[in-house]
Structures are given as C-alpha cells and as structure tokens.
Structure 1
Amino acid sequence: MDSLRYTKSDEGANFTYEKFCATCKLLFNMNNIEKDEWRLREIFDLFDLDKDGVLKERELKMFSDWTQKIKKSKYALVIVDVQNDFIDGSLSLRTCEGKQDGVDVVGPINHLVQNGCFDKIIYSLDWHPEDHISFYENLHLRELHPDSKVKKKDAKPFDTVIFADPYLEQILWPKHCVMNTWGAKLHEDLVIAPDSVQIRKGQNPNMEAYSVFFDNNFKGSMELQEILKKHGVDRVFVCGLAYDICVKSTCLDGLRLGYAIAIVDDCCRGVTAPDTEATKKLIYENGGLITNSNDVLAMVNEGKQSLVLAHKIAKSMTSIDTCEKPENILNNIS
C-alpha cells in the first residue's frame, strides 16, 4: 500500500482509468470489483476533475489521499438499543409481526466486541420520560391534529397518528424503555466493552428519536458525531434493535452525514420481515454496505477492504462538507 502514495514524480504520468483499475486490484478483492465495477468508474470520475480521462497533479494527489485514507481508516461499532424491553419486556420483538427474537443478536454482538479491533464502541439506549409522546398510554395527554386519519377514540397500539402540538406523525408504541427502569437497561448478557460510551436518546418528551445521530426532527444531541470526530472515525458498523426502526434511521443519518456505513446483518433483528428487507434495499441504495460479523472482523482486524465503503469515502472526500448541519440534512432527505 505504501507504493500507492503520491510523489512529485507522478505529476507527469498518464494515470488513465486502466491504470486506476490496475491499482485498485491491489486494494480490493476481485469479486468486489467484478460485482461493482461501476463504482470504480464513478470513483475515477470523481477524481478526474477536468474530465479528460487522466488523473494528474491535484487529481492524482486526491487519488493518493484516498488510498491512504482507506489504509488508515478508523472504525466504530455502534450497538443500537439492545435493551430489556425490546427482548423480554413491553415491546419485545417476539410479540411483533416478524416474530423475531431480539436476544439472538446478543451472542454475535458479543463476538464482535470481544474480538474486533474497533477504535471506539458506542452503545445507544432508548431513554424515555414517563410522558413520552410515542407511548400509546399517553395518548390522552395530547390532542390530535384534524389531519390524523386515526382518531383518538379509535387508536390502538402500533397505529400512526398526527399530533397537533407539536405537529408530527407518530407511531403509538407500548410504553417502553422508561428511564431508570429495568426495561431501559441493556440486556444482562450483553458484553460492555471497556472504554466504551453509552448514548441515551429519546429524552425529549415531545419528540421521538430513532436515530443515534439526531432526534426525528434532526435536532437534539450531537454526541455521536462528536465522539466519531474525536476518534477520527470514518467507517461505522451498525447493529442492534430494531433493524427496520432505530438501526435503519441511524444508518441513513450516518450516510447523509458522509460516513461510510455498514449494517451488520446477523447482529440485527426487526419488527417486520418486509420492512427489514426494505431497510436493506434503502441502505444499499444510499451507499451503505450490508455485511456480516465475519466480514466485519476481517475488515477491522486484517485490513480487508470493501469497495462499497471505499466508494462512500471517495464521495465524502470530493463533496462540499456542509452536510453536518441538521438543516442541510432536512433539505436533502432522499
């Protein structure tokens, strides 16, 4: 890899797409390249600023910086909401439509925590006040907007309503993860890594917070971004509960912010099978990687490279860095 570093003597070289591809074969598994060769073309085009088919001077320097960034990437593992209420409590996934068992993620997540060389491990927890807007049991505390198709007298758990103040659409969940209760605690069998961080989300009584990055209005805590920035993290592996709710929102927000995001498929469980499959498709279409725990360990421990993640890093390097502002995310939701 050190041979890929840019030097002044490279400035006159005709670094064509063919040479670019030959170099990338040193970085990526051939199966990766054959399946996703279009990503190589797009990466090359991102660096080829004058579109003349050759990387030179500043363009070649950008390519070299990309290869070095890939080599020296920092990794974070974000473990989302592996809490008692989602496993054995009031919102147990076993009782939801998909009939998946949340406890199934504990073993493979522990394997990652105990064997992966991550630069930072972060656990998130739903951490709601008693009067939280998402609780079906609190429906009587707030008025619904006339736009709400489901009326208060007809509402049931898991229905979607529209509140008047604040004006927002909300799924009515059974009361769950109330702060400082057994249901809000991380599962007792989940390994807590030394020097890890725990982020508590959803503390605003009038706003849901599915994503670990932001509340659902893209405001609130910037804690996760600050942690990732402090540790120089550019690749984030996400796992936990529930696949099609909080894991999904965390991944999509991370992608919008410019991080290379991978969802660890065997370390997640969801509410419904169709929504879980739709989540995978949406994450992939937005530039994320769908992977498994064995491949994650190969990446963080052995330096195995993912073309999907490298593609995202190239796009982040060559874009105008304004996406960290929440208002910009609101204006660019896909």
Structure 2
Amino acid sequence: MKKLLVVIDMQNDFIDGALGTKEAEAIVDNVVAKIQEYPKDCIYATRDTHTADYLETQEGKFLPVVHCVEGTKGWEINEKVAKALEGAVIVNKGTFGSAELADMLYFETIGQDEVEIELIGLCTDICVVSNAILIKTKLPEAKVTVDPSCCAGVTPESHNAALQTMKMCQCVVE
C-alpha cells in the first residue's frame, strides 16, 4: 500500500497573518506531529502563491485581502511546519486547487494496488476541500482521508460544512 500525506497551505498569512485565525494557530502542533508520522519521500505540500497584482484578479475581487504574495513573510510556510517538511515536495499553486498536484500524485501511484492519500492543512473550506475533490477525481479508487484535527476553516461552521462535503464525495474524515 502506498500512503501519502498532502499538507495544504500551512502558511503564515493563513495562521497568524492577513487571514489568520485562532483555529489555524491551534492546529500547528498537530500538523507537525502528523508530518513526523510519514517518510519525507511520501509528503507533498502546497503553498498558495499570488503576485503583487492579486487585487486585480478574480479571486482578489471576491476576497480583497492581499495574502501569500510570493517572497513575503506571509507566503512562507510556518517555521515549525517548514522544519518538519524539510525534504518534502513543495508545490506552488495560484488558486484553491492544484491540478499539478493531482497529476503528481497520479504518477506517483501508478501501479499501486492500494493508495491512501491523507490531506491536512488550511483552509478546510477552501483549499483543502478543493484539493480533496481534485485528487479524488484524478484517483477515484484511492482512499482520500482528511484529519479534522489537523485542519481549520475560515470559521468553525464552514470547516464542519467542508468536512460534510468531503464525506459526501467519498472522502474519509477521521
């Protein structure tokens, strides 16, 4: 069985920066502990990546809060998490979900009889759910799991709604 971990957007701006929440701050140690359970060659992480013209983009018009601009402190992965991720594959993404990540996981798991892909990170209700659905679409027979103790949403209510959505799309929430 091939078991992979995907760590979504554990960046400063989502933890204690422009879009940070106390719930995001509270999961950092859980995320580090989860990362330490996996071999480094079985870990992928994403980094939300925007440019200086973010407010001119469609996303910027819907969410007019500048965040995760490449090269800024807010774009960087949280220091504790970054240390745990040393040696992992990091994928920069310009939008909620990463088709590139789904493709990488597909090619990583070709020929495997059983595949489990666990997702953790931020934000449950935007980027975690988007990537879970993309991965499940690309690898329909993979067991896609989400650990809610290692995720946080924009609000606790939207976090719970996203977990329900992922369950409905045949992801395992445990």
Compute the TM-score of the two structures, normalised by the length of structure 1. Answer: 0.46
Q: 1:81-230 alignment to 2 at 5 Å?
A: 81-92=9-20, 94=21, 100-117=22-39, 120-132=42-54, 135=55, 138=56, 171-190=62-81, 191-202=83-94, 209-211=95-97, 213-214=98-99, 222-230=100-108
What are the Cα deviations for residues 92-132 of structure 1, in whole angstroms up to 9, with x where unaligned?
1x2xxxxx431222211111222335751011001111112
Query: For residues 89 and 42 of structure 2, what CA distance do their matches in structure 1 show?
Result: 8
Query: For residues 96 and 72 of structure 2, what CA distance do their matches in structure 1 show?
Result: 19
- Corresponding residue SS for 2:80: coil
Q: Residue 152 of structure 2 is aligned with which of 269, 282, 287?
A: 269
Residues 113/181 of structure 1: CA separation in 2 closer, same or farther (3 Å cut): same
Query: For residues 109 and 87 of structure 2, what CA distance do their matches in structure 1 show?
Result: 12
Report the Cα offset of residue 181 of structure 1. Answer: 0.8
Query: For residues 182 and 201 of structure 1, what CA distance do their matches in structure 2 show?
Result: 17
2:137 maps to 1:256? yes
Q: Residue 173 of structure 2 is aligned with which of 290, 302, 321?
A: 290
Report the Cα offset of residue 242 of structure 1. Answer: 0.6
- Corresponding residue SS for 2:79: coil
Which amino acid is 2:130 matched to?
S
Report the Cα offset of residue 273 of structure 1. Answer: 2.3
Which amino acid is 2:116 matched to?
R
Which amino acid is 2:143 matched to?
A
Residues 223/284 of structure 1: CA separation in 2 closer, same or farther (3 Å cut): closer
What are the Cα deviations for residues 65-92 of structure 1, in whole angstroms up to 9, with x where unaligned?
xxxxxxxx20110000000111121111
**Deviation above 2 Å: which 4+ runs of structure 1?**
115-119, 168-171, 191-195, 230-234
What are the Cα deviations for residues 253-288 of structure 1, in whole angstroms up to 9, with x where unaligned?
112221321011100011022222211111111111
* C-alpha RMSD of the superposition: 2.3
Query: For residues 201 and 85 of structure 1, what CA distance do their matches in structure 2 show?
Result: 15
Query: For residues 284 and 117 of structure 1, what CA distance do their matches in structure 2 show?
Result: 27
More strand by percentage = 2
Query: For residues 254 and 82 of structure 1, what CA distance do their matches in structure 2 show?
Result: 19
What are the Cα deviations for residues 4-30 of structure 1, in whole angstroms up to 9, with x where unaligned?
xxxxxxxxxxxxxxxxxxxxxxxxxxx
Query: For residues 130 and 170 of structure 1, what CA distance do their matches in structure 2 show?
Result: 14
* Structure 2, unaligned runs of 5 or more: none
Residues 236/281 of structure 1: CA separation in 2 closer, same or farther (3 Å cut): same
- Corresponding residue SS for 1:198: strand
Which amino acid is 1:267 matched to?
C
Higher relative contact order (CA 8 A, sep 6+): 2
State percent identity of aligned pairs: 25
Structure exhibiting the larger radius of gyration computed from Cα positions: 1
Residues 169/91 of structure 1: CA separation in 2 closer, same or farther (3 Å cut): closer
Report the Cα offset of residue 193 of structure 1. Answer: 3.4
Compute the TM-score of the two structures, normalised by the length of structure 2. Answer: 0.85
Query: For residues 198 and 245 of structure 1, what CA distance do their matches in structure 2 show?
Result: 19
